[in-house]
Amino acid sequence: MSRSVGTPPLVLSAQEVRQRALLRYADDGLVLLDRSGEVIEVGPSYPRVLGYAPEKRCKMRTTALIHPDDLDCWHQAWAELMARPGGTSALVLRARHGDGQWCSLDLTFHNGLDDPDVQGVVATVRNLSKRHGGETRRSGQQGVFEDLPDRQDLLGRLTEAVARLRAYSQVLVLVVKLDQLHLVARACGRDQAAQLLAAAARRLRRDLRTCDDLGVLGDDRLVVICETHTGKREANGLAKRVAACFSEPFRIEDDQVVLTASIGIALAIDPGADASALLEDADLAMASASTAGGNRRVFFSPAERADAISRVTLPAALRQALADNEFVVHYQPVVELSTGRTVGAEALVRWAHADGTLAGPDSFIGAAEASGVIGALGAWVLQEACETALRWPAGPGGPAYVAVNLSAHQLEDPGLPAVVRKVLSGTGLGPSRLTLEVTESVLVVDPEAAIRRLRALRDLGVRIAIDDFGTGYSSLSYLKALPADVLKIDRSFVTGLGADPADAAIVGAVLALAEALGLDVVAEGVETDTQAAELRRLGCPHAQGYLFGRPCPADRLAGSLLCPGLPTDTGS
């Protein structure tokens, strides 16, 4: 840190000599800071706590020692302290140790700027890395997966952390699940999935403080335990760092995989908190994050327990609902932009509860996939959609085709082509009148297998559409190999049309790419005349969205065809 101001030689009493000796041998360092946070004077043990030689104590600036990711936390805590003369504050952050490594420091501040005997801020500095055996941690990072504590060890460490709550304000527990790990296990085997989890743990260990505990829970989750003074602020920052450390692709043999994480967070402030319950709370919050689509963080709340009960009972309820014919299919028209004529309709499943409410697919498709119900449900939707399409008026007055969505789990089923063939044969619907939609994300883990399955489906004579195009991770080389007929431009690129030139440039590029590959294009999520006009200007042939018609039952679809854009229900 900065210049140290010495004191002139004094004749000290025996008590003063003893007090100075005690400070010299103390595990905590003392430092006096000015209003800007720079050093005025340091105690004798301060350089040793930070691992610096005594002669260097005058050459160190405070902010130069702090880890860049912790500077915001430092500045915020300092600003709060400056607003409270005579007050105290505390935080934990990473600082540069004398050996060049990052160490974790526990800092406690006392604002004595208005005290004429102090005229500064007194800070007590404790090196947490030393207390937690940080050197051993660093030396074992190469084998981080093998050395990670398991659930039993984690509970022991968490119990110790909770017991220290009198010294800290909170204990954080983060449960981290890699969203794509189950796909890797299916496509590449459990060994590859375990290696991927180990690689994620090594990367995560690199970005954690040395005082934080990292462990493994089951075969698909990582756990972080962190003692902190700043509670939710520290939790948010830590969760962001965890998510960011996965932003770079991981390599599996010759392929690259981009991972996202579902993160559940639980906080303990009571020294009597139960470690096992705290870990369970974080795990429940993680499950909520995963069920909501993944790639997000969720703080535990009592409602998570009710959600957990619902997740346990939902698969059985889905099977019963399928047996009781509680599902319905709504249809959203796809129009030709140049004429406004309806050319197709997308089938969208809804769950009609006994109380009259309709549940959208986001509330149950995840559970259907996880429980294996998706196969039966998907086959039912396909049957219903094909039977309905046969009743639509032929010619310009009705949709030429019906589009049915396939999940990644359905596409993994080798029996899927046979199911589609049976439905087409049983209903008599011509294969050219059926479009099967898959999202670009099905190519993330095993693109070759996905391409083989799509080719088998296309050999039946049906059309293949790539949904949400532009939001996945597939490369153009895979797109060239895909047996696709249609690209559906994701609504995120349509929203800004007419206002954001970047969206127009992206849509224009997709249209040019589709034309070069001989593919049809449908723009999704069109809600305004401005968006539709911009799509026409760019040469987009087809679109769907609330402007042309909301999803509605089959018997109301014919009416909406006569007046595109007329709202028919409030579904999504």
In whole angstroms, what is the distance from residue 323 CA to residue 384 CA? 14
Evaluate the CA torsion angle 465, 451, 375, 296 in order and state its sign. negative
pLDDT reported for residue 95: 77
Residue 39 pLDDT greater than 90, yes or no: no
In whole angstroms, what is the distance from residue 279 CA to residue 224 CA? 10
pLDDT reported for residue 547: 93
Q: How do 401-405 and 342-352 pair as beta strands? A: parallel
Q: Say what the alpha-carbon torsion angle 460, 463, 466, 468 is, to the nearest 10 degrees.
A: -130
In whole angstroms, what is the distance from residue 122 CA to residue 39 CA? 10
In the chain, the domains with their CATH numbers are 14-128 (3.30.450.20), 134-301 (3.30.70.270), 311-562 (3.20.20.450)
Amino acid at 502: A
Q: Please enumerate in sequence order all residues whose Cβ is within 8 A of that of 202, keeping only pairs 6 or more positions apart, or say none.
A: 141, 144, 145
In whole angstroms, what is the distance from residue 524 CA to residue 491 CA? 5
Q: Say what the alpha-carbon torsion angle 231, 308, 270, 262 is, to the nearest 10 degrees.
A: -30
Q: How do 520-523 and 102-112 pair as beta strands? A: unpaired
Average per-residue pLDDT for the chain = 79
Of 176-185, 219-228, 559-568, give the lowest mean pLDDT range: 559-568
pLDDT reported for residue 412: 84
> What mean pLDDT comes out for the span 402-417?
90
Amino acid at 131: R
pLDDT reported for residue 147: 61
The model's pLDDT over 94-148, given as tens digits with 9 standing for 90+, comes to 777 766 677 777 777 888 888 887 788 888 887 765 444 333 333 333 344 556 7
Confidence of residue 309 (pLDDT cuts 50, 70, 90): low
Q: How do 434-439 and 401-405 pair as beta strands? A: parallel
Q: How far is residue 251 from each of residues 79, 180, 258, 471, measured CA to CA in Å?
A: 43, 13, 9, 20
pLDDT reported for residue 345: 95
> What mean pLDDT comes out for the span 392-396?
70
Q: Encoding tokens for residue 244? A: 């960011």
pLDDT reported for residue 45: 66
Helix, strand or coil, per DSSP, at residue 452? helix
Residue 73 pLDDT greater than 80, yes or no: no
pLDDT reported for residue 144: 42
Cβ(250)–Cβ(259) below 8 Å: yes
The model's pLDDT over 434-475, given as tens digits with 9 standing for 90+, comes to 999 998 777 665 677 888 899 999 999 999 999 887 665 555
Closest CA to 120 of 231, 8, 37, 236: 37
Q: Encoding tokens for residue 437? A: 């939609």
pLDDT reported for residue 260: 87
pLDDT reported for residue 232: 74
- Looking at 304-385, which runs of residues are DSSP E strands? 327-336, 342-352, 358-359
> What mean pLDDT comes out for the span 309-337?
87
| H-only helix segments in 292-338 | 303-323
Give me the phi and psi of 209, to 5 degrees please: -70, 150
The angle at the Cα of 349, spanning 348 to 350, to the nearest 5 degrees, equals: 125
The tally of CA atoms less than 13 A away on the side-chain side of residue 125 is 27
| H-only helix segments in 392-541 | 408-411, 416-427, 447-458, 476-481, 491-494, 501-517, 529-538
Residue 350 pLDDT greater than 70, yes or no: yes
| Adjacent-strand bridge partners of 437 | 405, 465
101 vs 3 pLDDT, higher one? 101
Return the top range by mean pLDDT from 233-247, 275-289, 324-338, 545-559.
Answer: 324-338
- Percentage of the chain with pLDDT > 90? 26
Of 289-293, 301-305, 318-322, 508-512, give the lowest mean pLDDT range: 301-305
pLDDT reported for residue 164: 66
Q: How far is residue 15 from each of residues 19, 22, 43, 237, 356, measured CA to CA in Å?
A: 6, 11, 17, 45, 82
- Looking at 102-257, which runs of residues are DSSP E strands? 102-112, 120-127, 170-178, 213-217, 221-228, 250-252, 255-257
143 vs 46 pLDDT, higher one? 46
Of 116-130, 188-202, 288-302, 384-398, give the lowest mean pLDDT range: 116-130
pLDDT reported for residue 419: 95
Q: Encoding tokens for residue 525? A: 């999520």
pLDDT reported for residue 558: 57
In whole angstroms, what is the distance from residue 78 CA to residue 72 CA? 10
Cβ(442)–Cβ(454) below 8 Å: no
Confidence of residue 3 (pLDDT cuts 50, 70, 90): very low
